[in-house]
Amino acid sequence: MGVNNNQSLEGVEVLTGGLTAGLAGGIGMGLVLQVGPNVFEILGALIGSSTIVAGWLVHLALSILFGIAFATIVSRPALAEFVGTFESYVGAGIAFGAVLGILAGGLILPLAVSQAGVAVLPLPYLPLPGLAAELLGAATFAVGHLVYGTIVGAVLATIVGAVPARFADRTVPHE
């Protein structure tokens, strides 16, 4: 007898699943961003402390909120029929991460930074000449958001009990 690999979100799983998936995705994305430009100092400055710790706190709080948003979106009846397998959760997560990266990098972060008077984008991220620094910053940001989406989708799928198709037909031996 095979394992059911098609699952959906119900009730409290939307909140707790989204929170957990968002936190896990935020940690993964944060590790990617940590090797790139000074994103955490900029995020921290939005709350008045341009430290890495403050930036991580802002980043993880936003990651949790976006994780809950993702869980809410994929639990809607219009999408729930398309998102039920492990692979479809991961695919939806990657798409969500890509859209989030475009919105966050192209609209939300520049507006927040401008409104807070923290800095003007594009910033001189690294000790590289202008365009090279901007391209490296953009690439790091893009990869970070794709990592976020992948992890959020995989963790949420795991929480709801969806398993990868290659494991779905395995049976647990009985003693």
Q: Name the amino acid, one letter, at 140.
A: T
Average pLDDT per 10 consecutive residues for the chain, totaling 175 residues: 51 86 97 84 83 92 97 90 91 97 83 73 52 76 95 94 77 60
pLDDT at position 10, please? 65
On whether the CB atoms of residues 156 and 17 are closer than 8 A, the answer is: yes
pLDDT at position 28, please? 97
Angle between helices 130-160 and 12-34 (to 10 degrees): 150
Question: CB 163: neighbour CB atoms within 10 A?
Answer: 19
pLDDT at position 152, please? 98
**CB within 8 Å of 165: residues ≥ 6 apart:** 5, 85, 86, 87
Identify any residues that bridge with 6 across adjacent strands, giving them in sequence order: 85
pLDDT digit string, tens, across residues 35-78? 877 788 888 888 888 789 999 999 999 999 999 999 999 999 88
pLDDT at position 60, please? 96
pLDDT at position 66, please? 97
pLDDT at position 128, please? 56
Residue at token pair 């690439």: 139
Q: Name the amino acid, one letter, at 17.
A: G
pLDDT at position 44, please? 84
The whole-model pTM stands at 0.82
